[in-house]
Amino acid sequence: MKDIIIIGGGVAGLMAAYKLSKIGLSVAVVEHHQFLASGPSTRNEGWLHRGTYHAASIASRETAVEVAKRCIYGHEQLKSFCPEAIEDMDKSPIAMLKDGDRAEEVKSRWKEAKVSFREISRREAKVSCPEADLSRPAALFEVNDVSINTRLLYRKLVSEAKRSGCEFFLDRKITKIDGTCLELCTSTGQRERIVGRKVVYAAGGGAADLMKKHHGINVPIRYWKSHLVVTKRLASMGVFYLDPQEAAMMHHGQVSVVGFNEDALLSEYPDYGVIKERARNLREGIKRIFPNWRANEALDVACVKVDLADQQEDARSLNIAIREPIPDHILALPGKLTEAPYLTDILVARIHEGIDDGIVSHRPCDTFQSVAEGV
């Protein structure tokens, strides 16, 4: 028997596996695909946020600052855990703001959230990034966001989790969930059973399907499709707009991965088919920054991210979420890659309280809480 079974081998599942294994719990990770992190966890810009974008782009100031602080928390934790995955550490990206009327509000939010930034002149930015057309932004800033090699990050998480005894079951289809017992089937038809004390669903949209199929529970998962363009490296450092409907990019070696701000489309089902019009809008956004870009040397990619909303009319948030719709079955959604450390720390603390090995003495506050709850 395992203490924890984690369903899903993306960023949330891998980070939870690493952290839960490190506190001495026996953990198993079950992944439907042949490879780990085959979904949204690798289909992104590889952008290790430091609150810069979200503090400026989220409408509610309170929410924006909250998300920015979580991103800073995750940014520092991931850099400390896997510094070898950080790319272009010696280059500070340039954040651009087209709407000059928002400049003071954006700077005020950054200061409140403790986002690092330095306002720079157009001339200084042009020296740093001569390839870009910087005539459109009303304000430019040097910031501390960085590119991250997600494959290297996940490889280290897997390695460290295995070192602590975590087992990985890849290419397994879950055929039945009975209590906290999972029945699995491999692509070759081999059947297995894994029993755990608790089950964590970190499979994104797949978690909703499992909850519906095996527990009859409708989880309000929403699917957001957006697009990326992968192309030859466009500049010496990362360049991104803070405004909606503009391009943002990070660089990985000799390649640039570019996304489009606030361009996600609410979809009924998760799929990776490219929507030509959306891809074309992104390509036009790249041209606005790099007029000499050769668009024929690029690859269009679709990605689908998920969030949890109680009401379908809620605005897109991609916030973290931890729910326990039935006892011992926990749903965990990371929101953004950079928020995964925050999410998994909360998850580990919650699971620790539910699975206590008793080797460490209780604190007075633990005893008081037990008495207060009538335990």
pLDDT digits (tens, 9 = 90+) for 211-269: 999 999 998 888 899 999 999 999 999 999 999 999 999 999 999 999 999 988 988 88
Could you tell me the pLDDT band of residue 373, with boundaries at 50, 70 and 90? low
Q: What is the pTM of this model?
A: 0.93
Lowest mean pLDDT among 82-86, 167-171, 258-262, 305-309: 305-309
| CB neighbours of residue 94 within 10 Å | 23
For residue 309, name the pLDDT band (cuts at 50, 70, 90): confident
Decide if 242 contacts 53 (C-beta within 8 A): yes
End-to-end CA distance of the chain: 26
Q: Which residue has the higher pLDDT, 90 or 162?
A: 162
238 backbone dihedrals φ, ψ, rounded to 5°: -65, 145
- Identify the pLDDT of residue 157: 98
Cα–Cα distance for residue pair 165/174, rounded to 1 Å: 22
pLDDT at 318: 62
CA distance 169 to 191: 12
> With contact defined as beta carbons under 8 Å apart, do 301 and 274 qualify?
yes
- Amino acid identity of 236? S
Mean pLDDT of 348-361: 90
**281's tokens:** 């809008």
Calculate the average pLDDT of the chain.
93
| Secondary structure of residue 279 in the 3-state scheme | helix
Residue 375: is its pLDDT beyond 70?
no
- 316 has a pLDDT exceeding 50: no
- The rounded distance, in Å, linking the Cα atoms of 222 and 269 is 9
Q: What is the pLDDT of residues 71-84, one digit of tens each?
A: 999 999 999 999 99
pLDDT class of 26 with cuts at 50, 70, 90: very high
- C-alpha atoms less than 13 angstroms from C-alpha of 45 in its C-beta half-sphere: 24
pLDDT higher than threshold 50 for residue 317 = no
DSSP 82: -
pLDDT tier for residue 308 given thresholds of 50, 70 and 90: confident
The per-residue pLDDT for range 172-192, each reduced to its tens digit, is 999 999 999 999 999 999 999
Burial annotation 156-183 (CB, 10 A radius, 16+ → b, else e): bbbebbeebebbbbbebebeebeebebe
Q: In one letter, which amino acid is 158?
A: V
160-174, 291-305, 361-375: segment of lowest average pLDDT? 361-375
Cα 293 to chain centroid distance, Å, stands at 29
